[in-house]
Amino acid sequence: MHMAEMLDQQRNLVAQGCRVAAARGLVDGILGHLSLRVDDDHLLVRCRSDTDTGVAFTRPSDIRLITFDGTAGADGELDGYRVPNELPVHLETMRADAGHRAVAHLHPPSVVAADLAGITMRPIYGAYDIPGTRLARDGVPVYERAVLIRNSALGREMVAAMGGAPVVICRGHGITSAAATVQQAVLQGISLDKLAQMSLRVCAARGALREIDDSSWDDLPDLGSGFNIDAAWRHEVARLSDHPS
């Protein structure tokens, strides 16, 4: 496949990921962005222009090729476009782990609210959402500073708090989700949001948050990427027909 054609496909995927995140309420308005590592020196990232109408309306043309120095990755790539203020979220997350090819920085209100309420994300349910349960099994770390992560030092602080986990909650801010693919990075955000919503509902009903018993784990199998990622992503894309695109 020609390099230009491959980049076009990747731009389409990152733009699609932005629209899926917006359709799921993980971002609102103009805040939030996704990225995808192209090679050791370049990444695609959702950028902004003077005609930007919000993440829900992300176009492939909003996904621009840049270098790890934050400069244009090719002639014209940043003409009329600006990289996100929080580009260090993406750069430092990718630098920390070669397996982090895709990064989603999102602002899911339920996750922010649950964390501010002092609720720790724990595996409180099982087969309701097995990927989400597994995500919470070892705990979801929290970066405790409610800051705009606009420089490398803050990006490295966030990554240190992440500690090798796939997702970190940024207190009073949002989340950063990292994975091998755009699809997985966004789906992790969806699962964490589901867990936060359920935790808030249980607490609102004055219930106690209890982790599932140890004996349940053996009967919560990993159903594989064909189900957890491929089938789940087809559904998310299908949902877009009922949402802005």
Cα 81 to the center of its chain, rounded Å: 22
Q: How far apart are alpha carbons 42 and 165 in whole angstroms?
A: 24
Active-site entry in 86, 92, 157, 236: 86
| 106, amino acid identity | L
- Bridge partner list, 147: none
* CA–CA separation, 83 and 89 (whole Å): 12
Q: Is the dihedral of CA 8, 82, 21, 173 positive or negative?
A: positive
Query: Could you tell me whether strands 42-46 and 63-67 are parallel, antiparallel, or unpaired per DSSP bridges?
Result: antiparallel
Active-site residue, 86 included: yes
CA distance 123 to 169: 16
Nearest to 164 by CA among 198, 141, 182: 141
Residues catalogued as catalytic = 86
